[in-house]
Amino acid sequence: MRTLRQIHAHFLKSPANSFCFYALSKILAFCALSPSGDLAYARRLFAQIPNPNVFSWNSLIRGSSQLPNASKEPIFLYKQMLQKGFAFPNSFTLAFVLKACSLILAFFEGRQIHCHAFKHGLYSSPFVQTGLLNFYAKCEELVAARLVFDEIPDKNLIAWSAMIGGYARVGLVNEALELFREMQGVGISPDEVTMVSVIQACAKAGALDLGKWVHAFIDRNGIKADLELKTALIDMYAKCGEIDRARKVFDGMDVRDTKAWSSMIVGLAIHGLVKNALELFSRMLESKVRPNHVTFIGVLSACAHSGLVSDGRRFWSIMHELGIEPMMEHYGCMVDLLCRSGLFEEAYSLVNTMPIMPNSIIWRTLLVGCKSNGNLDKAEIVAKQLLELEPLNAENYVLLSNLYASSSQWEKVSYMRKKMKDNGVKVVPGCSSIEVDGFLHEFVVGDESHPEIKEIRKALREITERVRLVGHEPWTSAVLHDVGEEEKEVALCEHSERLAIAFGLLKTKAPVPIRVVKNLRVCSDCHEVTKIISKAYDREIIVRDRVRFHQFVNGACSCNDFW
C-alpha cells in the first residue's frame, strides 16, 4: 500500500491523468481486492471518481464481500449502482452480490437479484447460475436450489459441490450421497471442498458406514486432506459414535488449529469422556493454541453432563481471563450444570442477572430444572417467559405438560393441550434413524410406513416380553395422557428408538453395534429398557440423542444415568 500510494500521488501530479478512469480503476481494484490492500482507501478513491465504470463497482462490491465480518455493504453498493445508472451490472456484479447475500442469508435481497438476472439477460451466465445455486443452498431453500441446479447445462465442480453441500446442511444425507454418486458417474472428480460437504452429511445423519466409505474414497483417490477436511473427519467420526477413530485422525494431524482442537474436545464431551476432554483442553493451552467460544462450549458441557460444578466455575473464570465474552451457549451450559447439580436457585439467579437477554433455550433449561428439583412455584414464572418468546414451539408446551403430569395435575395438562390446539401448535414427533447396508431407515413414533413393519412389530413384542421377564415395570409417568396404564405402556413401546432398535436386531448380528440417531432426547423408560436390551441380547447399542451419546453395554450406559 505504501508503494501504491506513491504511484497514485505520482499519477495525480499530471493534469492529463485526471480523467484516466482505466488507471484509477486498476488502483481501486488493488486496494479493494489484494490481501495487502486497504478497503478504506478504496472507498475514498471510489468516492472521488465522477462516473465509476462497472469494473470499479465490481471491485468495491467484491472487496466488501470479502471482509471477515460479513455485512450488507455489498448489497447497498449494488443498490447505489442501479440508482445512479452510470454503469450497467454484468454477470460478475450479480455473482459478487449473490455471494454477499449467501454469507448473511439475505434471502429477500437474493430473490430480487434472481429477478434482475432474468431482467438483464444474465441468467445464462455460469457465474450467475452457480452464485444463485450457492445462495439458495446456503439459505436452505433446497427446492429452489435444485431447480437452478437442474437448469445448468454444463455443471462444473463448484455447482455439484454447492448442491451436495446444500443437501448436507439440512441433513438430507441420502440425497447428498445420491448426487455424489451421480457426480462421479458423469466424470467430475471431487475435490476436498466436495468431500467436506459429503462428510458433513454423514455426520449429521450419523451414517458411520457411509462416512468410513467416504474416508476410504479420499485416501484411494489421493484427494488432499487439508486442515478443514481432517477436522470434518474428526467431527464425523465423533458424531457417528466412533470417538476412537476421531482421536486417531486428530493424533495423526501435523498441524492443529483452534477448530481442530475444539472439534475433538466437543466430541469427547458428547461421548461423556469428561476426563479426556478436560485433559485435551489442558494440552491445547500448553500448545499455545488460543481457545475460542466453541472450545469453552465443549469443556462447560462436559462439566454439565458430569456434575463437575467446581471445574465448571473454574473454566468460566478462565474464559473471562482470556477475554472471551460469554455467549448465550455458555450461559446455557452453566445453567444446565447448576440445574443438574441441584443448585436451581443459583441457576435461576444467574439467568436473572445475565447481561444479555436470555433466549428460549435458557428458559427451557430452567424449566427442566424446575421438574428435576421439584420447584413447581418457579415453574410457571419460567414457563410464562418461555411461552412469550416461543408461543408456537410445541416442545415448551410438552415440557410444561410433563411437569404437570408428574404431579398428576391432569386439569392443567388438559389446559395446555387446549392451548396448543387453539394456537395451532403441532408436536414434533420423535424420529429415529438407523443405517443398514449403506441406507438410512427412519422411524417415527407409532410408525406404520416401513415395508417390514410386521416383522419389526413381531421383534418388538419379543423385546417387550424379555424386558418384562427381568422385572422391568414401564415408567408410565413419562406418558402425558390421562389414560389407563395399559394404554400408557403401549404408547411407550411405540417410541421411535424402540422401532429402530428392533429393526437393528432383525437386520444385524453381533458383534456389530446397533447405532441409532434420535432428534429428541431419550425418555427415562426407553433409556432403562435399552440398558436391559443390551444385556438380554448381548448387543452394544449406541444412541445419539439431541444432546449426547449413550453407549449401552451389558446392562449399563456410558452416561451413568446422568443425562
pLDDT (0 to 100) of residue 26: 87
State the Cα–Cα distance between residues 98 and 94, nearest whole angstrom.
6
State the Cα–Cα distance between residues 482 and 417, nearest whole angstrom.
12
Q: Could you tell me which of 289, 343, 351, 282 has the C-alpha nearest to residue 315?
A: 282
Residues in the chain: 563
| pTM for this prediction | 0.76
Find residue 435's DSSP bridge partners: 440
Cell of 237: 467420526
379, 370 contact by CB (below 8 A)? yes
State the Cα–Cα distance between residues 550 and 557, nearest whole angstrom.
6
CATH numbers and ranges of domains, the chain? 1-154 (1.25.40.10), 431-557 (no CATH)
300, 314 contact by CB (below 8 A)? no
State the Cα–Cα distance between residues 376 and 262, nearest whole angstrom.
38
pLDDT (0 to 100) of residue 501: 95
The three-class DSSP label of residue 444 is: strand
What DSSP state is assigned to residue 473? P
284, 255 contact by CB (below 8 A)? no
State the Cα–Cα distance between residues 140 and 169, nearest whole angstrom.
7
pLDDT (0 to 100) of residue 411: 86
Cell of 203: 455426520
331, 350 contact by CB (below 8 A)? yes
Cβ contacts of 389-393, under 8 Å, gap ≥ 24: 389/359, 389/360, 389/363, 390/360, 391/423, 391/425, 392/423, 392/424, 392/425, 393/360, 393/425
pLDDT (0 to 100) of residue 489: 54
State the Cα–Cα distance between residues 117 and 78, nearest whole angstrom.
13
Local confidence pLDDT in tens for the 563 residues of the chain: 999 898 888 888 876 655 577 788 888 899 988 888 899 999 998 988 888 889 999 999 999 988 877 789 999 999 999 998 877 899 999 999 999 999 999 999 999 999 999 998 999 999 999 999 999 999 999 999 999 999 999 999 999 999 998 988 887 877 888 899 899 899 998 889 889 988 988 888 888 888 998 999 999 989 988 999 999 999 999 999 899 999 999 999 999 999 999 999 999 999 989 999 999 999 999 999 999 999 999 999 999 988 899 999 999 999 999 999 999 999 999 999 999 898 999 999 999 999 999 999 999 999 888 877 777 778 888 988 998 998 888 888 888 888 888 777 888 888 888 888 888 888 778 899 999 887 889 999 877 888 999 999 999 999 989 998 988 887 655 554 444 445 445 556 778 999 999 999 999 999 999 999 998 888 888 999 999 999 999 999 999 998 889 999 999 998 888 76
**DSSP sequence for 243-307:** HHHHHHHHHT-S---HHHHHHHHHHHHHTT-HHHHHHHHHHHHHTTPPP-HHHHHHHHHHHHTTT
Q: Give the DSSP H or E segment for 436.
A: strand 431-436
Cell of 274: 469428561
pLDDT (0 to 100) of residue 139: 93
All residues at 6 or more sequence positions from 300 whose CB lies less than 8 Å from its CB, including other chains: 312, 315, 316, 330, 333, 334, 337
Q: Could you tell me which of 123, 118, 78, 108 has the C-alpha nearest to residue 96?
A: 78
Sort residue 141 into left (φ over 0), alpha (ψ -120 to 50) or beta. Answer: beta
User: Residues 418, 424, 430, 433: what is their CA dihedral angle, to the nearest 10 degrees?
Assistant: 170
pLDDT (0 to 100) of residue 485: 46
Taking residue 451's Cβ as centre, other Cβ atoms within 10 Å add up to: 8
53, 87 contact by CB (below 8 A)? yes
